[in-house]
């Protein structure tokens, strides 16, 4: 593969660990094929803990993200916006426009605009507001505008109102499931400290390595396990009946209307790993 053939995947989450949880499998498939992947956390993650001080937590989470980068070869940027306080301001929009232009992604993945977490909603709004503007030279004029609006797709969620998640892409991630859990395990302050606390599972704080692995896997299974049965028809349509009915773990993506259209030709390029795309 020559340098020019490499695809560029940009995953934009609100917090360090959002990208891994919803697109860690696709990112692994991209990296395994030699493509370029960048994770962005739009906030610094300083709020997600019950006893670490925000300024300390931001540094801890930067180190955890660095571990993910070392493990996967993904470039990992954490922006300076404060966790739990993100707003879709012009400054934040312009920062994101600059980031997208510099990275020149073929595909951007981000949260949907309806979501339980205000930072996720604001991140989605910021990406949608940056779409199209990335090709407008008079906006953020010091960074050259893109000629083509990237394809944008939403990460999965389970929220039903005002509209449920409606994916058109389902990727079997079982072959890379352990690599997703590896990435989660890097976020020690979250999966082994903060998230058990948020679920009132203080008695379940995992301590040894085996318990930590089991906790991370269990968390992933609870969060993303239901996706395969929710979107079984799409999986069967994509992979055929025999494999489609056997697939247990997927990542799913819904095209965003504000990005370039995900035509069949573009889909063959960006999701080459799906059957019948070669
Ligand atoms: Zn988040």
Tell me what pLDDT residue 272 has.
97
Between the CA of 248 and the centroid of ligand 1 the distance, in Å, is 24
Around ion ligand 1, which residues have CB less than 5 A away?
14-15, 18
pLDDT in tens, 38-97: 999 999 999 999 999 999 999 999 999 999 999 999 999 999 999 999 999 999 999 999
State in Å: Cα 275 to ligand 1 middle: 31
Q: What pLDDT was estimated at residue 276? A: 80
Domain boundaries, the chain: 3-172+251-270
pTM score of the predicted model: 0.97
Kindly give the distance from the C-alpha atom of residue 149 to the centroid of ligand 1, in angstroms, as a whole number: 25
3-state helix, strand, coil in the chain (%, to 5): 50, 15, 35
Pick one of 2.60.40.10, 3.30.1360.10, 3.40.50.10320, 3.40.640.10 as the CATH number of 3-172+251-270.
3.40.50.10320
What one-character DSSP code corresponds to residue 4? G
Q: How far, in Å, is the centroid of ligand 1 from the Cα of 198? A: 13
Q: How far is the CA of 240 from the centre of ligand 1 (A)?
A: 33
pLDDT of residue 1: 56
Give 179-225 pLDDT, tens digit per residue.
999 999 999 999 999 999 998 887 778 889 999 999 999 999 999 99
CA–centroid distance, 192 to ligand 1, in Å, is 16
| Angle value at C-alpha 75, between 77 and 90, nearest 5 degrees | 35
Whether residue 277 has pLDDT greater than 90: no
Cα–ligand 1 centroid distance for 17 (angstroms): 7
Pairing of strands 36-43, 75-81: parallel
Q: Distance, CA 22 to ligand 1 centroid (Å)? A: 10
Angle between helices 118-130 and 90-103 (to 10 degrees): 60
Cα 41 to ligand 1 centre (Å) = 9
> Rounded to whole angstroms, how far apart are CA atoms 35 and 143?
24
For tokens 């896997």, the residue is 217
- Report yes or no: 258 and 152 within 8 Å, Cβ to Cβ: yes
Distances (CA, A) of 207 to 109, 138, 194: 33, 53, 13
pLDDT computed for residue 201 by the predictor: 83
Q: How much distance in Å is there from the Cα of 125 to the middle of ligand 1?
A: 14
């Amino acid at each position: 593969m020559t340098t020019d053939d490499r695809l560029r995947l940009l995953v934009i989450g609100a917090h360090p660990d959002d990208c891994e949880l919803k697109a860690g499998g696709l990112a692994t498939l991209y990296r395994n094929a030699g493509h370029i992947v960048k994770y962005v956390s739009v906030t610094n993650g300083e709020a997600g803990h019950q006893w670490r001080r925000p300024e300390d937590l931001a540094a801890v989470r930067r180190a955890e993200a660095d571990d993910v980068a070392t493990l996967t070869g993904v470039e990992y940027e954490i922006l300076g916006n404060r966790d739990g306080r993100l707003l879709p301001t012009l400054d934040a929009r312009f920062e994101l426009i600059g980031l997208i232009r510099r990275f020149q992604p073929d595909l951007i993945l981000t949260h949907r605009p309806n979501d339980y977490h205000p930072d996720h909603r604001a991140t989605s709004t910021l990406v949608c507001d940056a779409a199209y503007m990335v090709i407008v030279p008079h906006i953020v004029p010091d960074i050259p505008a893109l000629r083509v609006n990237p394809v944008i797709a939403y990460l999965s969620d389970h929220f039903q109102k005002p509209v449920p998640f409606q994916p058109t892409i389902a990727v079997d991630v079982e072959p890379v499931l352990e690599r997703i859990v590896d990435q989660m395990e890097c976020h020690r302050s979250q999966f082994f400290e903060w998230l058990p606390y948020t679920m009132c599972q203080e008695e379940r704080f995992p301590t040894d390595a085996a318990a930590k692995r089991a906790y991370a896997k269990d968390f992933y299974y609870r969060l993303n396990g239901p996706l395969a049965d929710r979107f079984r028809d799409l999986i069967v349509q994509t992979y055929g009946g025999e494999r489609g009915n056997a697939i247990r773990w997927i990542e799913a993506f819904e095209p965003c209307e504000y990005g370039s259209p995900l035509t069949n030709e573009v889909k063959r390029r960006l999701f080459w790993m799906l059957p019948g795309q070669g």
